[in-house]
């Protein structure tokens, strides 16, 4: 129970990778605030699963791209659980299209949730972490933020931004007992990837040395490690959890 007594906030914690992040933190002993924007039933189910493990959880609605909504979310979490010691910026969306067909709205929507949303929560979480002189922030980026991807200029740019945000925040907060790291998942089995055609799937598998897609639990294990005492001297890093996809890249 390495995280006993800690309070965690996971954005987009209702489903996909986010749910697994919440469950893994709860198994470590943390009380978890499960954020969602539209999927209330899924968030309630995540909280129920945590309670089934004997843990403590609340759900809290906020669209992370909206700063006022994030302020209200942090106030609600502080009032019920206390100020978060751990922040997992996981909320993310895709609006894929080739550059010529990508609308400015699709570009800014993706940047708004994936990058600006992460900034909003990081900013709001860091004050209390600085005061406590302890904090762990893990931002969920993507391998495409490292290597790019045709049809995902908006998403790749947002994730490259998340990586730069991670390194800048890590430098600012390093002397205050707060670590900031990013995880760059490869292709993980969630709603985000189920819609891919067999042809695209085959092509993707060809680029993965381990020849399989990852599971949300692969990401959660890495995140819990980065939140643990054993990771105290690790900050500003990008950990690719991708079956070997980007090694040496």
| Interface contacts to ligand NAP, rule CB under 6 A | 11-12, 14-18, 35-39, 63-65, 90-93, 113, 140, 142, 185, 187-188, 190-193
Q: How far is the CB of 177 from ligand NAP (least distance, A)?
A: 26
Q: How far is the CB of 82 from ligand NAP (least distance, A)?
A: 21
Residue 247 backbone dihedrals phi, psi, to 5 degrees = -55, 135
Rounded (5°) CA angle 34-36-39? 120
Catalytic residue among 36, 107, 155, 187: 155
- Closest to ligand NAP by CB, 1 vs 247, is 247
- Closest to ligand NAP by CB, 62 vs 173, is 62
How far from 27 is each of 17, 44, 53, CA to CA, in Å?
A: 15, 17, 7
36 carries an active-site annotation? no
Among the listed residues 127, 241, 120, 111, the one whose alpha carbon sits nearest the alpha carbon of residue 186: 241
- Closest to ligand NAP by CB, 107 vs 187, is 187
Contact assessment for residue 147 and residue 249, using Cβ atoms and an 8 Å cutoff: yes
- Closest to ligand NAP by CB, 192 vs 227, is 192
Q: How far is the CB of 116 from ligand NAP (least distance, A)?
A: 10
Contact assessment for residue 215 and residue 188, using Cβ atoms and an 8 Å cutoff: yes
Q: How far is the CB of 163 from ligand NAP (least distance, A)?
A: 12
Measured CA to CA, the distance from residue 238 to residue 83 in angstroms comes to 25
Tally Cβ neighbours within 10 Å of residue 51: 12
Q: Which residues are catalytic?
A: 155
């Amino acid at each position: 129970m390495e995280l006993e007594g800690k309070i965690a906030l996971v954005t987009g914690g209702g489903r996909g990778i986010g749910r697994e992040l919440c469950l893994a933190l709860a198994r470590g002993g943390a009380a978890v605030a499960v954020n969602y924007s539209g999927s209330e039933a899924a968030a309630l189910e995540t909280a129920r699963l945590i309670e089934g493990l004997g843990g403590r959880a609340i759900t809290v609605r906020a669209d992370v791209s909206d700063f006022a909504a994030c302020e209200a979310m942090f106030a609600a979490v502080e009032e019920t659980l206390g100020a978060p010691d751990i922040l997992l910026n996981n909320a993310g969306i895709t609006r894929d299209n080739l550059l010529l067909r990508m609308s400015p709205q699709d570009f800014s929507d993706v940047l708004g949730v994936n990058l600006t949303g992460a900034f909003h929560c990081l900013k709001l979480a860091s004050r209390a972490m600085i005061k406590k002189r302890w904090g762990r922030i893990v931002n969920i980026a993507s391998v495409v933020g490292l290597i790019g991807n045709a049809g995902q200029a908006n998403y790749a740019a947002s994730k490259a931004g998340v990586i730069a945000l991670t390194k800048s925040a890590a430098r600012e907060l390093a002397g205050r007992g707060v670590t900031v790291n990013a995880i760059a998942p490869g292709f993980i089995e969630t709603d985000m990837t189920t819609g891919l055609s067999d042809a695209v799937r085959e092509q993707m598998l060809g680029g993965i040395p381990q020849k399989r897609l990852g599971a949300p639990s692969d990401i959660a294990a890495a995140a819990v490690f980065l939140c643990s005492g054993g990771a105290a001297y690790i900050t500003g890093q990008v950990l690719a959890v991708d079956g070997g996809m980007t090694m040496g890249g």
